[in-house]
Structure 1
Amino acid sequence: MSRLTPPRCLAAPRNHLALAICMATMTPALAQQGEAHQSAAGNVLELGATEITNTQLGSTTEGSRSYTTGAMSTATKLPMTMRETPQAVTVITRQRMDDMGMTSINDAIDATPGVFLSYASGPGRQTYYARGFEIDNLMYDGIPSGYNGVNVGVQPNLAMFDRVEIVRGATGLVTGAGNPSAAVNMVRKRPLGDQRVTLTGAAGSWDDYRGEVDASSPLNESGTLRGRVVTSYRDANSYIDGAEEDHGLLYAITEADLSDDTTLAVGFSHQKDKTNNFWGASLVGLDGRHQDLPRSYNPGTDWENKEQETNTLFAELRHQLANDWKLQFNGSYAKQNALFSGSYQSRFKADRRLERTVYQTKNDERQTGLDAFASGPFQAFGRTHELVIGASKRIYDMTSDDYDPYNFSSWPVDGGKPDFTRISSSRAVTSQDGVYMTTRLSLADPLKLILGGRLDWYDYDDKESSEADYKVTRNVTRYAGLIYDLDDHHSVYVSYSDIFTPQSNKDTSGSPIKPIVGKNYEVGIKGEYFDGALNASAALFRIDQENRAVNVTGADRLNCSDQQNCSVASGEVRSQGIDLELQGALTENWQLGAGYTYARVHTLKDAANPQNENQRFDTDMPEHLFKLSTVYRFQGPLEKLRVGGNLSWQSRMYNDIPLDGGSSYRLKQGAYALTSLMAGYAVNENLDLQLNANNVFDKKYYSSISTSTQYGGDTYGAPRNLMLTAKYSF
């Protein structure tokens, strides 16, 4: 609980934006005291309809009306402002989600600067990329969770999250194993200190309907026990003929103050998603060109289905120790059941006749995550420093059942649903144990040094074949960042971070080759204005991903103990570019989130295919990305009105399509921009209406393009569409 002391933000003259933010983040008692303080000084500030809550900018974004955050710990476990974090970071706040009508993590990813949402494997098999590398971890309240968008890849429902924090580059210090792409940390909503209920209803194009209830309240008279429940359901058709989907969510959390120093939170979420349009994309012609089919064309069948159900239990225990130290424990257990029955059109036969490839699999995925750490200040050399020491454990247990026909490419195009029969089952368990330490050293008043290290034990256990097992023992991950404050508003930084990715490939002796290592080098400048209400950054980065497996070829293969699986760790890929971002308040009433990223990703070394060296690593991702979201709230007679929108632009994508006869055709999706608009109106203190218009100029474009004439990859983006949302709070 906050003590009734004079508010520091009122102790000296400030600009009106800073003062309004300060007042909006106080407890009611502090707010009253602040108003009295201002009156006594003869400087009364009228806040109008500003909501006074006990939420601080940076710890919880809900209710802040902000597009930025004051503090985040995703990069290093240390609670630092964006300016203090020596990497490119973004936060998608609750306000930004609501303004832009975001409902799933796909929407948040699509709005994040420097991150690319790809549907190259099908319209419902999304993958995420940052700086040219796939994001293979999603984090929930700081606990990493393995993510495979092509095979399993549930899309978390944003109704249960307060914000999404994204750190671009190598993030091995907090995630352990993974790619040098980004850490995406989804922070769950917590119970509020007062009773509040919000009812939301939405209706949009193609019979897209959504309902949501969000209720929070103290559960005892003293307020030491609090609870919150969020439930959501969406039923939608599509611009694609016959395509439909539905999404259901139940989220519940209870938070208890066990003592003045100890708080326990326990929660549960149940999410169920279903769609019949997830795999098949349109074929290109035999000449490699787009067929320019209608956007409504559905290459799939009416029997296809993707059904996923995820149940998650989680807990968090926070204990305040002496001398400003704290102890925190987080635990999570998630179980996902998924059944995929799908198909895609194909031309695998020599005569390139049109057929259908069919597929069915059932996945049972279990993920367990544990993380415990202690953090706090310490004194050394006459200065105060910070330290985090922790340990974590992850277990990823996957069982898959495959069915016949399996990838059977001669199924008739209109042959109906096959009689799928289970033919095999496989199970693999991946475990990872780690210990880590991070410290922020105050070398001088303007100079801070962050050092971190992590030690991991990684074990892949294939329950069907011990020959596929592999381990990584005592892998060392490093982190270093140096930050220098130029003045009260600007800092420059330089940082290094890395991450490892174990490989199943075997060397010439039959032993697993060493892990891939992704090394992230970054230098930049950051600005913080209006007491943290606006953050700006500019960074230059380079990522070197080394030790990629390269197949042994030619006479050298005779020296391999296993000639079917023989590689050397010699491949190398480099990503380098620039990252610019601005997020937060330009004025009291104008919020903005905008960013531009250029990332050139190319192959440095590839002994098996030397022709790939110095060539683009993946051509069907754009090198340039620009994304902008904004909202403006009018004042005076129009104070109930707000307007805003999105603007996104990306450079061209292309693939060189092999053709029969040995030639090729360069298939392109040229650069394009998309514009979306929104307008909201607060009818009264309880009812709010909002209209979102997406792709207002009805741009026709491909969100992904094909790589072959033998199977489909052309997926259209959505045409112009509308969504009307009504929200009633009491």
Structure 2
Amino acid sequence: MALHRPAVFTPPPRHRQHVIARRTTMACAVAGVTVALACNVQAQAPEATVASPGLPPVHVNAGHKNANTEGTASYTTNSMNTASKLALPIRDTPQSVSVITRQRMDDQGMTNLNDVVKYTPGLILQKYGSERQRFFARGFQIDNIMYDGLPTSISTYTQDVISSADTAMYDRVEIVRGATGLMQGAGNPAAAINLVRKRPAMTPQLSLSGSLGSWDNYRAEVDASNRLNASGSLRGRGVAAYQDKGSFQDKVFKKQSVLYGMLEADLTSSTTLSVGASIQNDRNRADWGGLPTARNGNDLHLPRATFLSNDWAKWNKQNTFLFGELEQRFDNGWKLRLTANRVLANLDLLGTYLTPAGSSGFAQNHGGFRYTDDQNSLDIYATGPFQLLGRQHELVVGASDRREKFNGTGDFGSNGTLVNVHDWNSSLVPPPALNYANWHSASDAKQQGAYASARFNLSNPLKLILGTRLDRYDFSSQSVSRGISNSSGYKITQHLTRYAGLMYDLNDTYAVYASYTDIFKPQGLRDRNDKILKPIVGSNKEIGIKGQYFDGTLNASLALFQINQNNRAKRMDLTVCPNPLKPCFEASGEVESVGLDMEVSGALTANWQMQAGYTYVDARYRQDAVGSNIGALFEPATPAHLLKLSASYRLPANLERWRIGGSVSAQSDTYKVNGSGANSIHVKQGAYTLFDLMLSYQMTANAELRLNINNLFDKRYYQNLGSNSFANVYGDPRNILLTAKWSM
């Protein structure tokens, strides 16, 4: 089939286009299933810019290496720097990467980070309550979220207080799968998710949009940007969004408001200062847990609308971000950048979950908690070219500081109410009387690091990236529960993380690569001598091939990976612990994750955008205190096989105002084991496939009407598996969203 590289569009000239043709053939083989793209590719190199009457401006310049995706109509980007802070094309990054562009977010109605993760190749979204979510990749939980390259911790408690970010503020989301310790320091070898904010524009820019959809879903957005003085040395941008949304679950709703602003000033011709802030308020009625299964793990076939909490349930959050950036550019191509980010988050939670009662019934437990979380990130680095042995290379040298203070109070208990899961009145139980002094938890974490990475141009086809990071980590915590107090703390004075990536250009289109990354994650458990366990360490190894077509408007990759985590805590027999009532551990556990990762993203033709990815992951215990675990799956609630495909196509000729698109998401079966031995039960979710549709009509060059139909065939499935009484959460039934957008 003939594939045409996207033309470069800017309105409103109507010149004819001259093209230069070339041919390229692509072939990808994945896990025994061959996906062949034998393509007669005619790449278009336009001599003049064009636009059709009534179509919106599309500012695509394949030769321009600006990573911003807004206004490009593309499903890929020219460069990203989340992996190493080196601004490199996707093809030249020696790890598996994805980018969710502004166009993809708009086409599929992605309004928050949960939506982004749901549609990103290789990532898994689990929801164990209406407002509780976890993200996974390659068999491990993602425990850091980055904002403009600065990481924010997502730990046991903070994942409840940090909101799923509203996408109205962001230009794109960059994802690097696997270990990313060079940029983040401590963390699981899952993935780095980097949300890149929209920035002020030099020319007037305004968009207004409104949406309405199933379950009384109403949303409005306004986004404005322009220069603020005649010279354009001062620029500003403001974004506001409000959403009032019901749910397929009875009684559940969300009211969310977002305000975002950024100022950008050219202090001199070579110095730019950017400062900004955002605030996101979430007011929700949401359940704490999910739905139960039968005691043996079988599905109770409860209606998806079932709500087993109470009218007074709430899950309210407020997240405030303050951020700034100072960049100094030098005549020799070097630049110095200082960035800072502060997160002030709080949570007010009152909810319930079920526990088994009697032979087959359930009782309601309640809890009320108030959390505050204060995180600060500071990073300074210099980057630029240098000469060595007659060749030009690139270098990054920097240092970072991260601090997090968490404080939580609360109370919990059981009201003794037995719940009929098939006939429940959410107005039945009065709000509990709570003493928030009954439970208290506070922690203080500090991490300082220095890092360096260099890209050596060894020869015209061969590039070597070497990186290293030295970290210091300090953690302390105190907790009180019903009068019983506990405290812990530990320090890691220095830990070295290494990174290496080698890329070899086979030709102008294809490159093969190999990369290695160290793993580092402190753990606060103690051994039988009351000493803190060594950190979890290990390695992330990856080999692959990448292709870049049409000057970067289409990217493809195929990779094999192996991740080994060592020193994982193994619980010891209580008989060898000093206190038989207090467990102790040893650092001898190991988990290995191996698999395959492939992706194609960007423009197949001038009118056809696509992002498709397939991932196979096999993560298993290699060493564990429980003998039956050895060889068993590490996270059986995450699928081994994951396929995600999204596309949009602009119809030709007289139908060019119309675009059609959709997505397919398929995964293999999963299960969750609760209990052990003869008393263990399995909660199961069979393999399933979801289909979404999108239809867009360009009413004028400035106005678009879009219809999204999600879960087209109304597939009934669990988005998360919990226990037989807790955190089994249905995925959304079929729903529609109609969006009107006007922009200039």
TM-score (norm 1): 0.91
Question: Which residue pairs with 1:582 in the alignment?
Answer: 600
CA distance in 2, matches of 1:480, 1:93: 28
Cα shift at 1:509: 2.8
Does the alignment pair 1:705 with 2:714?
no
1:308 corresponds in structure 2 to 317
**2:613 corresponds to which residue?**
595
> In structure 2, what is the Cα distance between the partners aligned to 1:638 and 1:340?
51
**Equivalents in 2 of 1:175, 1:703: separation in Å?**
28
1:472-487 maps to which residues of 2 (within 5 A)? 472-487=492-507
Q: CA deviation at 1:668?
A: 1.8
Find the aligned partners of 1:278 and 1:228 in 2 and give their Cα distance. Answer: 36
Q: Which residue identity lines up with residue 571 of structure 1 in the other structure?
A: G
The partner residue of 1:410 within 409, 416, 420 is 416
2:639 is the counterpart of 1:625: no
SS of corresponding position for 1:488:
coil
The CA distance in 2 between the partners of 1:318 and 1:180, in whole Å, is 31
Pairing partner for 2:135 from 128, 131, 142: 128
Q: In 2 relative to 1, CA 98–665 (structure 1 residues): closer, same or farther, beyond 3 Å?
A: same
Deviation at 1:241, TM superposition (A): 1.0
SS of the aligned residue for 2:118 comes to helix
User: What code does the residue aligned with 1:540 have?
Assistant: L
Secondary structure of the corresponding residue to residue 60 of structure 1: coil
Range moving further from structure 2, 86-95 or 500-509: 500-509
Residues of 2 paired with 1:519 and 1:220: CA distance?
51
Determine the C-alpha separation between the residues in 2 that align with 1:715 and 1:355: 18
Given candidates 178, 196, 199, the residue that maps to 1:190 is 199
**What amino acid does structure 1 have at the position aligned with 2:388?**
A
Tell me which residue corresponds to 1:138. 145
Describe the shift of the 1:332–1:33 C-alpha distance in structure 2 as closer, same or farther (beyond 3 A): farther
Partner Cα distance (2:262, 2:189) in 1: 33
Give the AA of the match of 1:359. Answer: G
Matched, 1:248 2:257: yes
Question: How far off its partner does 1:565 sit?
Answer: 4.7
SS in 1 for 2:648: strand
1:537 aligned onto 2:571: no
Taking the TM superposition and a 5 Å limit, the aligned residue runs for 1:314-325 are: 314-325=323-334
SS of residue in 1 equivalent to 2:243: strand
Alignment of 1:348-497 (within 5 A): 349=357, 351=359, 353-403=361-411, 406-408=412-414, 410-411=416-417, 413=419, 414-423=428-437, 424-462=439-477, 467-497=487-517
CA distance in 1, matches of 2:15, 2:267: 29
Q: Which residue of 2 aligns with 1:689?
A: 705
- Which residue does 1:729 correspond to in 2? 743
- Is it true that 1:649 corresponds to 2:666 in the alignment? yes
Residue deviations 1:450-503 (CA, integer Å, cap 9, x gap): 000000111112256895011111111110000000000000000001231111
2:93 match: secondary structure: coil
Residues 340 and 360 of structure 1 are in contact (CA less than 8 Å); yes or no, is this contact kept in structure 2?
A: yes
Change (3 A) 1:663 1:548: closer
Q: 1:255-287 deviations in whole A, cap 9, x for unaligned?
A: 111111011111010100121124231111123
Q: d(CA) in 1 for partners of 2:164 and 2:177?
A: 20
Aligned to 1:674: 690
Residue matched to 2:520: 500
User: Contact 1:173/1:499 (CA < 8 Å) preserved in 2?
Assistant: no
What letter matches 2:316 in structure 1?
E
SS of the residue 2:132 aligns to? coil
1:344 aligns with 2:353: yes
Q: 2: distance between equivalents of 1:150 and 1:369?
A: 17
Amino acid at match of 1:129: F
Mapped contact 1:284–1:706 kept (Cα < 8 A): no
Cα distance in 2 for partners of 1:643, 1:33 equals 26
Is the Cα–Cα contact under 8 Å of residues 574 and 584 in structure 2 kept in the other structure?
no
Q: How many angstroms apart in 2 are the aligned matches of 1:232 and 1:45? A: 34
| 1:4 match | none
In structure 2, distance between residues paired with 1:218 and 1:529? 35
2:546 is equivalent to residue 526 of structure 1: yes
**Whole-angstrom CA distance in 2 between matches of 1:702 and 1:50:** 39
- Please say if residues 614 and 641 of structure 2, whose CA atoms lie closer than 8 Å, have aligned partners that are also in contact: yes
Find the counterpart in structure 2 of residue 260 from structure 1: 269
1:123-145 deviation digits (Å, cap 9, x = unpaired): 32100000010001000000000
Alpha-carbon offset, residue 293 of structure 1: 0.9
Query: 1:53 deviation in Å?
Result: 5.0
Matching of residue 63 in structure 1 with residue 71 in structure 2: yes
> In 2, Cα distance between the equivalents of 1:389 and 1:664?
51
Q: Structure 2 vs 1, CA of residues 260 and 43 (structure 1 numbering), >3 Å: closer, same or farther?
A: closer
Q: Which has the larger displacement, 224-233 or 465-474? A: 465-474
What is the SS of the residue equivalent to 2:636? coil
Q: Report sequence identity in percent.
A: 44
Distance in 2 (alpha carbons) for counterparts of 1:375 and 1:42? 34
Mean Cα deviation higher: 647-656 or 360-369? 647-656
Query: Does residue 269 of structure 1 match 2:289?
Result: no
Q: CA deviation at 1:351?
A: 4.8
Q: CA deviation at 1:152?
A: 2.4
The 3-state SS of whatever aligns with 1:311 is: strand
1:327 to 308, 327, 336: 336
Contact 2:294/2:360, CA 8 A, preserved across alignment: no
SS in 2 for 1:468: strand
Q: Is the 8 A contact 2:340 2:379 kept in 1?
A: yes
Q: 1:249 to 1:421 in 2, by over 3 A?
A: same
Task: Tell me the equivalent position of 2:35.
Answer: none
> Which residue identity is paired with 1:432?
Q
Once residues 59 and 686 of structure 1 are traced to their aligned partners in structure 2, the CA distance between those partners, rounded to angstroms, is 24
SS at match of 2:131: coil
Q: 2: CA distance between counterparts of 1:393 and 1:639? A: 51
User: What SS does structure 2 have at the residue aligned with 1:258?
Assistant: strand
Q: Deviations over 1:6-36 (max 9, x none)?
A: xxxxxxxxx9736x34x76xxx9xx999999
Letter in 2 for 1:641: W
What whole-Å deviation, never above 9, does each CA across 1:157-216 have from its counterpart, x for those lacking one?
A: 000000000000000000011100000000000011111211100000111000011011
> Aligned-residue CA RMSD in angstroms?
2.5
- Give the Cα separation in 2 of the matches to 1:445 and 1:427: 54
Q: Could you tell me which residue of structure 2 aligns to residue 568 of structure 1?
A: 586
CA distance 1:593–1:614, change in 2 (3 Å): same
TM superposition shift of 1:382: 0.8
- Aligned residue pairs total 697
- 1:633-676: CA deviation from partner (whole Å, max 9, x where unpaired): 123211111110111000001134559x9455433211110000
Q: Secondary structure at the match of 1:324?
A: coil
Say which SS state the counterpart of residue 182 (structure 2) adopts. helix
Secondary structure of 1:614's aligned partner? coil
CA deviation vs aligned residue, 1:408-442 (integer Å, no higher than 9, x gap):
37355443210112124332110110000000011
Give the counterpart letter for 2:313 in structure 1. Answer: E
Confirm whether residue 719 of structure 1 aligns to residue 733 of structure 2: yes
TM-score, with length taken from structure 2: 0.90
Judged with a 3 Å threshold, the aligned counterparts in structure 2 of structure 1 residues 715 and 373 are, in CA distance, closer, same or farther, namely same
Distance change in 2, residues 1:668/1:42 (3 Å): closer
Return the letter of the residue paired with 1:534.
L
Distance, in Å, in 2 between the alignment partners of 1:141 and 1:75 is 13
**C-alpha distance in 2 between matches for 1:269 and 1:316:** 15
